[in-house]
Chains A and B, each alone.
Chain A
Amino acid sequence: MSDWPLWEVFVRTKGGLAHRHVGSVHAPDAELALRHARDTYTRRMEGVSLWVVRSADIVASDPDQAGELFEPAADKVYRHPTFYDIPDEVKHI
């Protein structure tokens, strides 16, 4: 419905992993937003836990400020943990 607020949906795919943003749903309130999220995004066993949050409550960075926010990090390659050997068994790092 066009007058329903938008909710962002986060799914934890299995225990130990973080919730990931997967999309959004419209719903009149929080309880139904959870149900809509369940019916829309976990129909194929994608999840063990769900979060929904009103899209309006998310504070986003300004794309116009992308330069000053993000570019200074681009030439500081020493901040990346690329100088370590990561064993194959270590996942999700």
Chain B
Amino acid sequence: MAEQARPHGAFDAPSDAHDPIRAGYVLRLGDDSLILGQRLSEWCGHAPSVEVDLSLSNLALDLVGQATLLLGAAGDADTLAFKRDVLDFRNCLLVEQPNGDFARTMVRQLLFSTWQHLLYQRLAVGTDEQLAGIAAKAVKEVAYHRELAGEWVVRLGDGTEESARRTADGLDWCWRFVPELFEVDAELEEACRCGLAVDPRSFEEEYRASIAAVLQEAKMAQPADQRPILGGRRGHHSEHLGHLLAIMQYLPRTYPDAKW
């Protein structure tokens, strides 16, 4: 990747100026995967056991792999990942939330992977050949993420008193970021109109039912709806993303000519 990185410039706009709608949509997907992959990689060496450490690292690597392909479809992947500032990221707010404890991380994963799985199933049979190809490859990875996160949420929710309390706290933290996953702004509406994007509202019911089923099996109460927090798709991020980027971007920004 680094070989192709442009050392200067192109700090914000996706480089595919020919089709800004497409580049903007692919950027959203790529940023979701990139930021969640970076978040999960923070667990490396800190997970509850060596087996879970590997599970989380595998999820992280899958997501960073997706990001490499998606950002590559939106422009130059390295430039987009390492040379953009926080306001130019288009990921949803859920993926940038701090890991918290293992329960919160697994709740976040369930809420995101379920959404990503339903979305990618549809993108994989979409009209954009490149995007369909990326989604078809990723959908198997994401199916596994969804199942794994679901199994953990069930075990933690229906586990000990402490694990149930931590799972409830994790749900409470993440729940307000779910509505953003189904928000359709003007940009997404345009991408849907030209047949490129999938309107997430088309699978919202299926999503809600799937999450409710997991929570029921986990003997967890579904949290009351909170005031939704939106804005990630417009670059209005929580304070947490800046800290994540500072770590992720430190090396290529400090040593722009570094190769690896």
In the assembled complex, B199 has its CB within 8 A of some CB on chain A:
no
Q: Is the CB of B55 within 8 A of A1?
A: no
Q: Is the CB of A1 within 8 A of B48?
A: yes
A40: chain B residues within 8 A (beta carbon) = 50-51, 54
B238: chain A residues within 8 A (beta carbon) = none
B60 to chain A, nearest CB (A): 12
On whether A32 and B155 interact (CB within 8 A), knowing A39-B55, A39-B58, A43-B54, the answer reads: yes
Count CB-based A-B contacts (< 8 Å): 28
Q: Is the CB of B49 within 8 A of A1?
A: yes
- Docked Cα-Cα span, A80 to B55, in Å, equals 44
B54: chain A residues within 8 A (beta carbon) = 36, 39-40, 43
Question: What is the predominant secondary structure among interface residues of chain A facing chain B?
Answer: mixed
Q: What is the interface residue range for chain B against chain A?
A: 10 to 19
Q: Which residues of chain A from 19 to 45 have any CB-CB distance to chain B below 8 Å in the complex? A: 25-29, 31-32, 35-36, 39-40, 43
- Docked Cα-Cα span, A71 to B55, in Å, equals 44
Q: How many residues of A contact B (CB 8 A)?
A: 14
Q: Which residues of chain B from 4 to 55 have any CB-CB distance to chain A below 8 Å in the complex? A: 48-52, 54-55
In the assembled complex, B132 has its CB within 8 A of some CB on chain A:
no
Q: Is the CB of A26 within 8 A of B155?
A: no
In the assembled complex, B151 has its CB within 8 A of some CB on chain A:
yes
Q: Please list the 7 inter-chain residue pairs (A to B) with the smallest Cβ-Cβ separation, ordered nearest first.
A: A36-B51, A39-B55, A39-B54, A25-B51, A1-B49, A39-B58, A40-B54
B interface with A by C-beta (< 8 Å): 48-52, 54-55, 58, 148, 151, 155
